[in-house]
């Protein structure tokens, strides 16, 4: 039976990988964050001007019913997924190649490239849809499924980058993630839980701390995947049970 690393060991792996790369990692996170802030400011100003022009504002008007809120939220979610995927791809390269040099601007947006764009978009759409449908049953199954699908982006990257692996669809990546996470969803949950203190620090610093905390968290989550799949130079088989049971969470 494989011995997998503890949360503390994965965090140490992340810090070791980031050693000498912190500046580039922060820049990689800062650039898209700045873009999001600027875009949100522009969006708010545009909505405010449009509302004033057409007389949409009233005391009974709720933000939840204001045109554009849903679409802007969806666009923000997709953009964040692409950026997180790009940063994760970068860190996975760094874990596997000690000499890898982070290129903040190029690497942060690499998921938007022709090589990855369609697959990442489809993984996002399908996994979000599946998670939403499970959440309709009850919130807990939706949360469990989100953990089950969490490795799909990195699985997709591996299949795209490695000629020894067959090319598969976004749905297959999600299926492989679900299989890979059997017996590991609780480990991944506890790994995320271990960052609560850091998240609190990020909030107390008015978000500034997240410039360092976010790369640290993404790097640790990437270390989790790296630990699961092992040495990419070996022909790894991910052991799964014939029957999938949510009790392995």
Dihedral sign, Cα of residue 117, residue 122, residue 127, residue 132: positive
Give the pLDDT confidence score for residue 100 in this predicted structure. Answer: 94
Give the pLDDT confidence score for residue 162 in this predicted structure. Answer: 80
Give the pLDDT confidence score for residue 34 in this predicted structure. Answer: 76
Query: Global pTM?
Result: 0.80
Give the pLDDT confidence score for residue 118 in this predicted structure. Answer: 94
Q: What's the token pair of residue 13?
A: 């792996």
Give the pLDDT confidence score for residue 237 in this predicted structure. Answer: 44
Give the pLDDT confidence score for residue 121 in this predicted structure. Answer: 96
Give the pLDDT confidence score for residue 139 in this predicted structure. Answer: 84
Return d(Cα 1, Cα 239) in angstroms, integer.
10
Give the pLDDT confidence score for residue 240 in this predicted structure. Answer: 35
Angle in degrees, CA 124, 168, 141, rounded to 5: 45
Residue pLDDT, tens place only, 190-206 = 999 999 999 999 889 88
Which regions in the chain score pLDDT beneath 70?
1-2, 36-37, 39-40, 43, 50-73, 165, 231-249
Residue pLDDT, tens place only, 112-167 = 999 999 999 999 999 999 999 998 888 888 899 999 999 999 999 999 988 776 77
Alpha helices (H) in the chain, listed in sequence order:
7-18, 22-54, 69-96, 104-108, 117-137, 139-148, 152-161, 170-180, 185-193, 196-204, 210-229
Give the pLDDT confidence score for residue 178 in this predicted structure. Answer: 95
Give the pLDDT confidence score for residue 52 in this predicted structure. Answer: 65
Question: Which residue ranges make up each domain of the chain?
Answer: 7-230
């Amino acid at each position: 039976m494989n011995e997998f690393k503890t949360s503390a060991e994965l965090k140490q792996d992340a810090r070791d990988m980031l050693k000498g790369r912190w500046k580039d990692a922060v820049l990689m996170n800062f650039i898209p964050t700045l873009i999001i802030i600027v875009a949100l400011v522009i969006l708010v100003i545009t909505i405010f001007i449009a509302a004033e022009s057409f007389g949409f504002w009233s005391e009974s008007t709720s933000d939840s019913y204001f045109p554009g809120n849903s679409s802007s939220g969806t666009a923000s979610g997709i953009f964040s997924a692409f950026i997180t995927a790009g940063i994760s791809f970068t860190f996975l390269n760094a874990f596997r190649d000690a000499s890898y040099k982070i290129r903040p601007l190029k690497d942060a947006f690499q998921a938007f490239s022709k090589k990855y764009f369609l697959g990442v978009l489809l993984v996002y759409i399908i996994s979000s849809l599946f998670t939403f449908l499970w959440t309709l049953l009850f919130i807990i199954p939706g949360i469990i499924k989100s953990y089950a699908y969490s490795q799909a982006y990195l699985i997709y990257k591996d299949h795209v980058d490695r000629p020894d692996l067959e090319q598969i669809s976004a749905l297959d990546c999600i299926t492989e993630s679900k299989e890979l996470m059997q017996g590991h969803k609780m480990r991944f949950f506890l790994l995320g839980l271990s960052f609560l203190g850091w998240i609190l620090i990020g909030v107390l610093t008015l978000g500034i701390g997240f410039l360092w905390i976010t790369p640290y968290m993404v790097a640790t989550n990437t270390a989790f995947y790296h630990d699961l799949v092992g040495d990419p130079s070996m022909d790894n088989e991910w052991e799964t049970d014939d029957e999938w049971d949510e009790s392995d969470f």
